[in-house]
Amino acid sequence: MFDISKKYKGKVIQSAEWKITYKCNYKCEYCYQLKDKRVDCAPDVVEKVLEFFKAQKESYLIKLIGGEVFCSKDFFRICRELTEAGHKICLGTNLAAHISEFEKFIDLFGDSIEFITGSYHRSQVKDLDVFIEKAALIRNKLNQDAGFMITSVLMDSNFNDLKDLEGKLESRGVEFKYQRLKSEGRYTKYGDEIEKYLSDKLIDNTDNLAGWISERTICTAGHSFLNIAINGDVLRCYNQQKMYNGLGNIAKGTFRKIPKPFPCFSKKCTCTVPINRGMISKKKLSLPGYYCFIFKEKFFKGTNK
Ligand code: SF4
Ligand code: SF4
């Protein structure tokens, strides 16, 4: 099976995640995205973010997310401009788009597609067989060295359904991974039977991060990983940081990458993407070294807040 952390092991990989739309054709009951703001990334923000990527000398691995990416009116143009500029792309999608849309996407950008992550939302999928068939068709059409995985959030109540889905997908050659439910920044623990079953079936490194105190750890997120919001704001990763949380805004021209390596200013890390791409080192600054670092940053260089 495709494993991005192995594929890029030992290489410095520049990557980014860009939310290109809030629009979505699903109405999941647990959706945290603002239901009254189902809009696309504004045209001027799209242009500025594309300009930013076109100006980069290194090739980026850029994951486009939503909402639902296929609902964005700019989706195909964004993919075209990024790939023409030499970048690789990945998608997070709910798989609701018609199979012809996926075929068009793969036909147009096949060699530049690094992976697709499809999410399964039980309350929204009307016909499970159609969902599985679509997943199998996408897997077969994608280059064999491109990754494709279906994920779903596990709750005690849906375990049997997801296990059934896992078996059906894997019999069609499609990988399935469980996502541990997060509540108030913490990962949920399940009953013993489920925990035993899950050991190698979670998104990589989920359990390595649980309970880990990341503050002071040297990490290159914010340099080799950028989390770009729909308005062009750039965050270092997915967790709040005491310093260097907001790295500025690409559309307003205020974005600055942080230098690397750099300490983590967040108590806890729940960011599986940076750890899976080898951005989080095993080194931690000592406490005195950390406070000295913060003092110098605040009073001599200024923070990026
Ligand atoms: S598919 Fe994702 S973005 Fe769309 S409604 Fe469900 S949770 Fe929200
Ligand atoms: S260790 Fe985790 S929380 Fe800290 S900066 Fe890196 S990715 Fe973000």
Alpha-carbon gap, residue 18 to 61, rounded angstroms = 11
Q: Name the maximum alpha-carbon separation found in the chain.
A: 60
Burial level of 238, CB count in 10 A (0-12/13-18/19+)?
Answer: middle
What's the gap in Å between 141 CA and the centre of ligand 1? 25
Work out whether the CA dihedral 243, 249, 250, 254 comes out positive or negative: negative
Alpha-carbon gap, residue 132 to 123, rounded angstroms = 15
Would you state the pLDDT for residue 303?
44
Would you state the pLDDT for residue 118?
96
Index of the ligand 2 atom closest to the CA of residue 265: 4
Index of the ligand 2 atom closest to the CA of residue 217: 1
Question: pTM of the prediction?
Answer: 0.89
Question: Dihedral of the CA atoms 67, 166, 136, 145 (nearest 10)?
Answer: 80
Contact by Cβ (8 Å): 20, 41: yes
Index of the ligand 1 atom closest to the CA of residue 66: 3
User: Which DSSP helix (H) or strand (E) runs through 44?
Assistant: helix 43-55
Find, among 200, 214, 202, the residue nearest to 282 by Cα: 214
Over residues 92-125, the pLDDT tens digits come to: 999 999 999 999 999 999 999 999 999 999 999 9
**Letter for the amino acid at 35?**
K
Would you state the pLDDT for residue 243?
81
Would you state the pLDDT for residue 121?
94
Would you state the pLDDT for residue 302?
47
CA angle 205, 209, 212 (to 5 degrees): 155
Find, among 184, 231, 190, the residue nearest to 207 by Cα: 190
Name 112's Cβ contacts closer than 8 Å, sequence gap at least 6: 82, 83, 87, 88, 89
What's the gap in Å between 148 CA and the centre of ligand 1? 19
- What is the CB neighbour count within 10 angstroms for residue 118? 24
What's the gap in Å between 26 CA and the centre of ligand 1? 6
Alpha-carbon gap, residue 218 to 254, rounded angstroms = 24
Across 134-147, b (16+ Cβ under 10 Å) vs e yields bbbbbbebbeeebb
Reading the chain (305 residues) residue by residue, the pLDDT tens digits are 455 555 665 565 899 999 999 999 998 888 877 666 789 999 999 999 999 999 999 999 999 999 999 999 999 999 999 999 999 999 999 999 999 999 999 999 999 999 999 999 999 999 999 999 999 999 999 999 999 999 999 888 889 999 999 999 999 999 999 988 877 667 788 888 888 888 778 776 666 676 678 889 999 999 999 999 999 999 999 888 878 878 999 999 999 998 878 899 988 887 777 777 778 887 888 999 888 888 887 766 644 44
Over residues 5-31, the pLDDT tens digits come to: 556 655 658 999 999 999 999 988 888
Cis peptide before 261 (omega within 30 of 0): yes
Residue 220 tokens read as: 């290159």
From 21, 94, 153, the mutation candidate for ligand 1 (largest count of ligand atoms within 8 A of CB) is 94
Work out whether the CA dihedral 110, 111, 113, 115 comes out positive or negative: positive
Index of the ligand 1 atom closest to the CA of residue 30: 7
Would you state the pLDDT for residue 135?
98
Q: Is 33 in the pocket of ligand 1 (CB under 6 A)?
A: yes
Residue 36 tokens read as: 């009254």
Would you state the pLDDT for residue 8?
60
Instruction: For the chain, give the number of residues.
Output: 305
Q: Which domains does the chain have, with CATH numbers?
A: 4-301 (3.20.20)
Query: Which residues have CB under 6 Å of ligand 2?
Result: 214, 217, 219, 221, 236-237, 239, 264, 266, 269, 271, 274, 280
